[in-house]
Amino acid sequence: MKRTRILTGAAVAIVTAVVAVLGGAFGGGSGSVGARAQSTGRDKAVLGSLLSGLAEGDTAGYVRRLERRVDRRPHDANGLILLGFAYQQRARETGDPRFFSLSERALSRGRLSSATKALADTALAGLAVSRHRFAAALPLARAALRANPSNGTAYGALGDALLNLGRYRKAFAAYDRMAELSPSVGSYGRIANARELTGRPGVAAEALRLALTLDVPVREYRAAAFVQLGNIALNMGRLGRARRAYANARSALPGYIHAQAGLARVAAARGDYREAVVLFGRVVDRLPLPQYVIWQGDTLRAAGRRREARRAYALVRATERIQEANGVRTELQTAIFDLDHGRRVRDALGRAREAYGRAPSIDAADGLAWALERNGRCSEALGYSRRALRLGTRDALKFFHRGMIERCLDDPAEARRWFQRALEANPHFSLLWTPVTRRYAS
């Protein structure tokens, strides 16, 4: 696939890498006149009010004020849009997907006003992405861009949807346009993610360092950029660099839970299971995201505390059910969890197929390849593994999966080559699978 430029020049450089709710403020690109200019000015005013509210550092208090506002004035369209965005920020901060449902209700009411429909469509597109409903996000983002072609936030949601649908060239072009219109942590974070996907983690980190030179009014956004920088370093096996980035995130926003999760991962990768277990315990108590609970369980298992690991794994399914009840599609993450832990592997294959059919990203292709390998269908798995690696991504887990597929196909030399590539990319990529990789690579 021919790569787009992804802003490789000096001008410019999340998750979901971690990306801010807004993605980027409305930019000042080439706008039109008349009603569109008036609408753009109104939207900027609403988003400016949102940023001001979030910059106070008390999103819960801000949400309560907005709730009182719309209780007093049920048809206050601007208030409903602000509340919808703020609920999404609360979902980021708490990991509670019930805020997604609250956001949808507020935005659906705010969308009834023609004056705020485009902004509501922008927020609903971002919400659809957060719920892993990527096809649903496309028409919403495009409608918002028809109303305002300078809407950098809508370009971010459009790019996120296209990325997860496996339409990388168009996704990268949307990110380029977003960054041109709205230089921000959100836009640069997306550029960094695109660069990492195309096998350039070093220049991905440059994008985030550029983002950190900006004046960021919301401390959580700055902390999120440091966390993404730490994740890039961790994916490269550079534990010291990752630890420094996560520590910087915690300094930017004391108690930042995603930074604490990163520090727990570093401790686990170093084999300091005692510290990692303590840190993960604090993280999961505050923010029981499925991925954090899985990492906690894997750390407990690596530490030989199997009974506690089983309790953590049981919590994974409970948190996923809450997500599903609030509109989040979880087929891919539940399938990979079950495949990695030897559970319901045949059913997991069906879920992986469903996830790939809905959103054929490289991650979904890799998940389906892994599911096929775990079910002994390795010739079919090979094709999906090739699709998963087509961008040149330096992902040790994808390399490991390919090695297991080649091993299943009875090609030990080729399998060994992929296992060695996995360890070269990141010698600490998985508590579960790094020991297996080392054994098979020798």
**Mean of pLDDT values over 433-438:** 98
Sign of the Cα torsion 438, 439, 440, 442 reads positive
Let me know the angle formed at the C-alpha of 289 by 288 and 291, rounded to the nearest 5 degrees: 125
**Per-residue confidence at 251, pLDDT binned at 50, 70, 90?**
very high
Instruction: Report pLDDT for 4.
Output: 43
**Mean of pLDDT values over 249-260:** 94
Name the domain boundary from 183, 205, 234. 183
421 within a domain of the structure (yes/no): yes
Residue 232 in tokens: 């890039």
DSSP single-letter state for residue 400: H
Contacts of 84 (CB under 8 A, 6+ apart): 103, 104, 106, 107, 110, 120, 123, 124, 127
Contacts of 419 (CB under 8 A, 6+ apart): 399, 400, 403, 437, 440, 441
Q: Does residue 90 carry a pLDDT above 80?
A: yes
Q: Does residue 86 carry a pLDDT above 80?
A: yes
Q: Is 9 exposed, middle or buried (0-12, 13-18, 19+ CB in 10 A)?
A: exposed
Let me know the angle formed at the C-alpha of 275 by 272 and 280, rounded to the nearest 5 degrees: 115
Distance CA 107, CA 387 (A): 37
Residue type, 384: Y
Name the domain boundary from 183, 202, 221. 183
User: In this structure, are residues 364 and 396 in contact, taking their beta carbons and an 8 Å threshold?
Assistant: no
- Mean pLDDT lowest among 21-35, 151-165, 369-383: 21-35
User: In this structure, are residues 150 and 121 in contact, taking their beta carbons and an 8 Å threshold?
Assistant: no
Name the domain boundary from 163, 183, 203. 183
Instruction: Report pLDDT for 9.
Output: 36
Whose tokens are 């609360």? That residue is: 90
Instruction: Report pLDDT for 114.
Output: 87
Distance CA 159, CA 19 (A): 12
**Per-residue confidence at 51, pLDDT binned at 50, 70, 90?**
confident
3-class state of residue 360 by DSSP: coil
Domain region containing 87: 21-183
End-to-end CA distance of the chain: 33
Cα atoms found within 13 Å of the Cα of residue 135, Cβ hemisphere only: 7
Q: Does residue 14 carry a pLDDT above 60?
A: no
User: In this structure, are residues 79 and 43 in contact, taking their beta carbons and an 8 Å threshold?
Assistant: no
Distance CA 18, CA 245 (A): 14
Instruction: Report pLDDT for 204.
Output: 97
309 within a domain of the structure (yes/no): no
Instruction: Report pLDDT for 361.
Output: 98
- Mean pLDDT lowest among 18-32, 54-68, 122-136, 368-382: 18-32
Let me know the angle formed at the C-alpha of 145 by 140 and 151, rounded to the nearest 5 degrees: 115
DSSP single-letter state for residue 389: T
User: In this structure, are residues 192 and 205 in contact, taking their beta carbons and an 8 Å threshold?
Assistant: yes
Residue type, 362: I
Residue 280 in tokens: 């993960």
284 within a domain of the structure (yes/no): no
48 within a domain of the structure (yes/no): yes
Instruction: Report pLDDT for 40.
Output: 66
CATH number at residue 366: 1.25.40.10
User: In this structure, are residues 278 and 260 in contact, taking their beta carbons and an 8 Å threshold?
Assistant: no
Instruction: Report pLDDT for 38.
Output: 54
Instruction: Report pLDDT for 39.
Output: 58
Distance CA 155, CA 178 (A): 5
85 within a domain of the structure (yes/no): yes
Instruction: Report pLDDT for 92.
Output: 85
Q: How many domains does the chain have?
A: 2
- Mean pLDDT lowest among 96-100, 301-305, 429-433: 96-100
412 within a domain of the structure (yes/no): yes
Residue 259 in tokens: 């930074």
Report pLDDT digits (tens) over 372-386: 999 999 999 999 999
| Mean predicted lDDT score pLDDT of the chain | 90
Alpha helices in 55-151 (DSSP H): 59-72, 77-94, 98-110, 117-130, 134-147
100 within a domain of the structure (yes/no): yes
293 within a domain of the structure (yes/no): no
**Mean of pLDDT values over 416-441:** 97
Report pLDDT digits (tens) over 338-356: 999 999 999 999 999 999 9
**Per-residue confidence at 115, pLDDT binned at 50, 70, 90?**
confident
Instruction: Report pLDDT for 36.
Output: 53
Q: Does residue 242 carry a pLDDT above 50?
A: yes
